[in-house]
Structure formats: structure tokens, C-alpha cells
Amino acid sequence: MKKSTSVSLLVFFLLIPATLFLGTKLPGRSYYITSTLIILQMLLPFFLAFEGRKPQARELVVIAVMCGISIVSRVAIPIPHFKPTFAMIMLSGIAFGPEAGFMVGAVTAFGSNFFVGQGAYTPWQMMAYGAGGLLSGFLSQKGWLSRKPIYLAIFGFLSVLLWVGPLLDLCSLFLMPIGFSKKAIIAVFASGLPANLMQAGCTAAVMLLVSRPLLERLDRIKLKYGMLENHDKL
Amino acid sequence: MKDTFSSYHPAVNFLFFVGAVGCGVVFLHPAYLAVSILCGLSYYLFLGKTKSAKAFLLMLPVVLILAAVNPLFNTQGSTVLFWLFGKPYTLEALLYGGAVSGVLLTMLLWFGCYNYVLTGDKFTSLFGNWIPSVSLLLVMVLRMVPNLIQKTKQIAGARKSLGKGNEGKLKEGLAVVGALVSWALEGGVVTADSMRARGYGTAKRQSFLIYRMERRDWWLLAVEIILITAVIVSACLGQVNAEYTPEVSLAPVSWGAVFYGIYLLIPLALNGKEAILWHILRFKI
């Protein structure tokens, strides 16, 4: 068994249950720490798999470039909740596969927080952004996601509204001190809805306008240099 | 004035913040909260001066609103202040809201300090050996961001001087983004080939370490570990227990809070020590 696989199994079947168990034993509001630890532990297998694969220079650099562009689109555009970042992450996933999509998402969240400020929300953002890239990459790899801009726009809108956005709201639910009553949960998701809608709209607009030229360019680069097709020859 | 604590080894800094944020997030006892908020605020103001003061004034309303909102969701508590929408608004729930907003405030303050002390280069040097590929990725990305912003300006300028860009902002923006992506990826491939030619991936990566554990770092590390252990022991003994609803019951303040205060004062104390030493040395001249 590969080292990264065994570590993943260890994390999911031992570390996370142990954390959950200890979390229930600790006094007070330790679920702050428990939840953040679990998110970190869930990120761990992805990063270890990436390390274990010993990524080649080209793969690293391409992921770095996509991260750089996503971060710039988050940091340089001054309108809050209206950033092309998610669209960029999803397009990376579509062009380079689910693993690359996850890495681009997670590193974008972490890296951009060096510019806008790290916080307890950083692991949650890494998870949510990464999940966005993972989903688009997975669906595209399976051939379930058409590359026509209009379908990509619909996909972008829905996935931000129903997948990435709620994952980010989950963070406020766990880190904001209002408890877990049914009302509090509804309140958190309802208060996140306008921001998610704006973000979803922005993602759809970017997908509609940019997806075709951008994917063409990414494909051209892939074709020109024969990248990310087989991992041995990179 | 330069921060003395930042000049210590990143591992020492990182451990301090793990302790400060970890405890700050869990402890709901008002004494512990007050200690953490006071220490965090003074260190934050020391690090950022007016910038921190402005940020703190922005945090305050959020925290206060959150405290006031809590009784709307949480109707437990025995002392009813007034009725709102047919629901009781209780004193205990308000106090509880205040305590948990305090937790949020400590988190914001300590993470504010973290952002000043543990910069990107320190983080990568700290974790570079454990996750070499990911930290290399991070270094490349952090370098790329200012680079890309600069290149965007260059592309836009070049297009302008060619007489292009009169067909509307949207089209122009798309052209610039497209050129930027192509340039960055092609440049990236050249970088990658150059890395390969120099033997990337053929051996274990060494990292350039600018930080070394000196004697003072080991000492501070030991002090941190002793203090945080004492705080955790006191927490396990129930000294931080605080119940707010349905009735307020607090554990009496004991030695745990003192250790907690000393721990959180470490960065400021180091700065104070430095300032005093400096004065003495100057006095001798």
C-alpha cells in the first residue's frame, strides 16, 4: 500500500474519530478546536498524496500559475463578494483535473490570506475552495460537464450557491458563537445567502465570458508542451 | 520600534500563537477572557499602532452586535429583562453572548498579531522540510502575485500605446487577462524546464534556513511549554469552568489565570526588557 494511502486511512479511521471523542470529553466550547482540527485532518491526506506523488516541476509550476491568477483575482478586485476567484479555480480543475483543482483551490485560499489576513477560517476556506476545484475537475473528467460556456455558467452558479458557499457558511456556524439551535443554523445560512448569490452571479458571468478563451489557451499550452497527461514524462 | 518577539525563531513564535489562540477560543471564564483580550489588544496596538487601532474600532461593533443578538436565539436564562416578539430576552443569555463575543474578539486580536509576526517566509521556512512540494508551491505563488499585478499593468500599457482598447472595457479586460494567462503559463513552463535542468526532483531538497534555534530560543520555548502546561492543568482542574445559562455560576479565579496572564504577556515583556536594557546601556554611556 502506498504511504499516502495508509496515512489517509489512518486519518479517517483513527485520527478523526479520536479527535471527535476527545472533543466531546473536553469541557466548555472546545468544538471550536475540534472542528478546526478535523478540517485540518481532512486536508492532510490531499496534501500528503500530493507530496507522495513527488510532483514534477511542470506540474508544480502550472498549479502555481493558476493559484497566482486566482489570488490576484481575489486580492486585486476591490468589490467584496464579487470575485472571479471561484471561476478561476473551477476552470483550473476542468483543465487540469480534480487533484490539480483541489490544490489550486486550497493553496489559493491559504496564499491569498497572506494578503488579506489569516484567521481561524483559513482551514475552512482551504477546504471549501479546494472542494470547488475538486468537484468541477471530477465532473469534467467523467465527461458529465460540458465545456460550453452556458453550461459552465449554470454549473458555476449552482456550485457556488449550493456547494462552496454553504461550506464557507459552515465555518461561520462553527466559529461564530451562536450555538447550534435550528434557528441559529437557519440564521447563519440565510445571512450567507446574499453574499453567496452575488458570488454565484459573478462566477456565472465570468464563466460565460472567460471560460471559452481561457480553456482554449490552457488546452493550447497543454498540447504544446504535452503537459499533465502522463505523470512519468512530465 | 521593532518587535523583539518577532526576532525569535519561527517555531517559538508559532507555538506561542497556537497556545494563545487555542486557549483563547476555548476559555469562556470572564477573568481569562479579560486577560486574553487585554494582552492581545496591547500587543496588537504595539505591533500596528494606528492601523491596529482602526482595525480594532471596526471589530468592536461586530462583537457588540453579536453579543446583543445572542438572546434572540438563546432563550434560556432565569432573569428576563424584557419580552421581544413574544420571546424572553434574558440577562444570562446576554452575558453568555458577551462571553462568546469576547472569544471572537480574542481570536481576531491574536490572529491580527499572528499576521504581523509570522510572515509567509517564516511559515514556509518552518514547514519547508515536512511538506517540501507544498511549501515550494507556496513560495512560488507568493512571489507570483506581485509579479502578475505588475505584468497586468505592463500589458494594459502596451495595448494602450498600440492604440488598442477602445472597444469597451469588458473586451479590453478579457484581452489583458488572456494575454496574462498565456504569458504566465509559458513563462512557467520555461521555469519548470530550467528547474529540471538544474536537477529538481533528483535528490532530497535542501532548504535555505535563515533561522536557527539559539540559546534564548530554547529558553523561551521551555518557558512557553511550562506556562501553557500549567494553564492546561488548571483548566483540567476546572478553574476555567463557567456556566451562563440557566444561571450564572463561575469558578473562583485562581493561580491558573495568573499563569495564563504571564504566558500571554511574553511578547510584550520581551519588548519591555529590551527597552529597559537599552535605557540602562545608554545611561552607562
Helices B132-161, A57-75: axis angle to 10 degrees equals 60
Within the 197-256 window of chain B, which residues sit less than 8 Å (CB to CB) from chain A?
A: 200-201, 235, 238, 240-242
Residues B179 and B104 in one domain: no
Task: Give the HSE-up count for residue B186: Cα atoms under 13 Å, Cβ half-sphere.
Answer: 9
**Cβ–Cβ below 8 Å for B182 and A62:** no
Any A CB within 8 A of B131 CB: yes
B72 in a structural domain: yes
Partners of B181 on chain A (C-beta within 8 Å) are 65, 69, 214, 217-218
Which among B150, B170, B197 is the end of a domain? B197
Any A CB within 8 A of B134 CB: yes
Residues B170 and B244 in one domain: no
Give the confidence band of A228 by pLDDT, cuts at 50, 70, 90.
Answer: low
Give the confidence band of A232 by pLDDT, cuts at 50, 70, 90.
Answer: very low
Q: Which of B25, B107, B108, B105 is closest to B66 using CA atoms?
A: B105
End-to-end CA distance of chain B: 21
Residues B187 and B261 in one domain: no
B113-160 pLDDT tens trace? 998 898 888 888 888 777 788 888 888 898 888 899 899 999 989 988
B202 in a structural domain: no
**Cell reading at A101:** 483543482
Any A CB within 8 A of B178 CB: yes
Residues B37 and B155 in one domain: no
Partners of B200 on chain A (C-beta within 8 Å) are 57
**Which pLDDT value is given to residue B48?**
87
Give the confidence band of A94 by pLDDT, cuts at 50, 70, 90.
Answer: very high
Residues B25 and B111 in one domain: yes
Q: Which domain holds residue B86?
A: 5-119+213-284
Among partner residues A29, A179, A218, which is closest to B73 by beta-carbon distance? A179
Q: Which residue out of B137, B170, B183 would a mutagenesis test of the A interface target, given it has the greatest number of A Cβ atoms within 10 Å?
A: B137
Among partner residues A64, A103, A177, which is closest to B101 by beta-carbon distance? A177
Q: What percent of chain B has pLDDT over 70?
A: 97
Partners of B25 on chain A (C-beta within 8 Å) are 29, 32-33, 120
- Tell which phi-psi region holds residue B199, choosing left (phi > 0), alpha (psi between -120 and 50) or beta: left
Does ipTM surpass 0.90 in this model? no
Among partner residues B25, B201, B235, which is closest to A56 by beta-carbon distance? B201
Closest CA–CA distance from residue A159 to any residue of chain B (Å): 23
Any A CB within 8 A of B142 CB: yes
Partners of A213 on chain B (C-beta within 8 Å) are 174, 178
B254 in a structural domain: yes
Closest CA–CA distance from residue B131 to any residue of chain A (Å): 7
B19-70 pLDDT tens trace? 998 888 888 888 889 999 999 999 999 998 898 899 899 888 888 888 888 7
B151 in a structural domain: yes
B61-111 pLDDT tens trace? 888 888 888 777 776 777 777 777 777 788 888 888 888 888 888 988 999
B207 in a structural domain: no
Rounded Cα distance between A232 and A55, Å, is 10
**Cβ–Cβ below 8 Å for B100 and A177:** yes
B125 in a structural domain: no
Closest CA–CA distance from residue B26 to any residue of chain A (Å): 5
**Cβ–Cβ below 8 Å for B144 and A64:** yes
Rounded Cα distance between B90 and B246, Å, is 9
Contacts of B176 (CB under 8 A, 6+ apart): B152, B155, B156, B159
Residues B52 and B103 in one domain: yes
Contact by Cβ (8 Å): A70, A83: no
Any B CB within 8 A of A227 CB: yes
Total domain count, chain B: 2
Give the confidence band of A179 by pLDDT, cuts at 50, 70, 90.
Answer: low
Rounded Cα distance between B58 and A56, Å, is 45
Closest CA–CA distance from residue B171 to any residue of chain A (Å): 9
* Res A214 pLDDT > 50: yes
B203 in a structural domain: no
Contacts of B161 (CB under 8 A, 6+ apart): none
Closest CA–CA distance from residue B53 to any residue of chain A (Å): 16
Among partner residues A71, A178, A214, which is closest to B178 by beta-carbon distance? A214
B240-264 pLDDT tens trace? 777 777 677 777 778 888 999 999 9
Residues B178 and B49 in one domain: no
Q: Which residue of B has its CA nearest to A220?
A: B182
Quick one: DSSP state of residue B84?
E
What are the start-end ranges of the H helices in chain A? 3-10, 16-25, 31-52, 57-75, 85-96, 98-116, 122-141, 149-159, 165-175, 182-225
Rounded Cα distance between A12 and A14, Å, is 6
Detail the DSSP E strand segments found in chain B: 80-84, 87-90, 242-243, 249-250
Residues B53 and B152 in one domain: no
Quick one: DSSP state of residue A231?
T
One-character DSSP codes across B171-234:
HHHHHHHHHHHHHHHHHHHHHHHHHHHTTTTSSPPP--------HHHHHHHHHHHHHHHHHHHH
Among partner residues A32, A65, A120, which is closest to B188 by beta-carbon distance? A65
Lowest mean pLDDT among A38-42, A108-112, B177-181: A38-42
User: Cell 465555518 sits at which residue?
Assistant: A171
B187 in a structural domain: yes
* Res B193 pLDDT > 80: yes
Any A CB within 8 A of B149 CB: yes
Closest CA–CA distance from residue A180 to any residue of chain B (Å): 10
* Res A152 pLDDT > 60: yes
Residues B51 and B111 in one domain: yes
Residues B32 and B114 in one domain: yes
Residues B74 and B180 in one domain: no
**Which pLDDT value is given to residue B24?**
85
DSSP helix, strand, coil percent of chain B (3-state; round to 5):
75, 5, 20
* Res A233 pLDDT > 50: no
Residues B31 and B114 in one domain: yes
- Count Cβ atoms within 10 A of the Cβ of residue B173 and give its class: 0-12 exposed, 13-18 middle, 19 or more buried: middle
Contacts of B182 (CB under 8 A, 6+ apart): A217, A221
Quick one: DSSP state of residue B128?
T
Q: Which residue of B has its CA nearest to A29?
A: B26
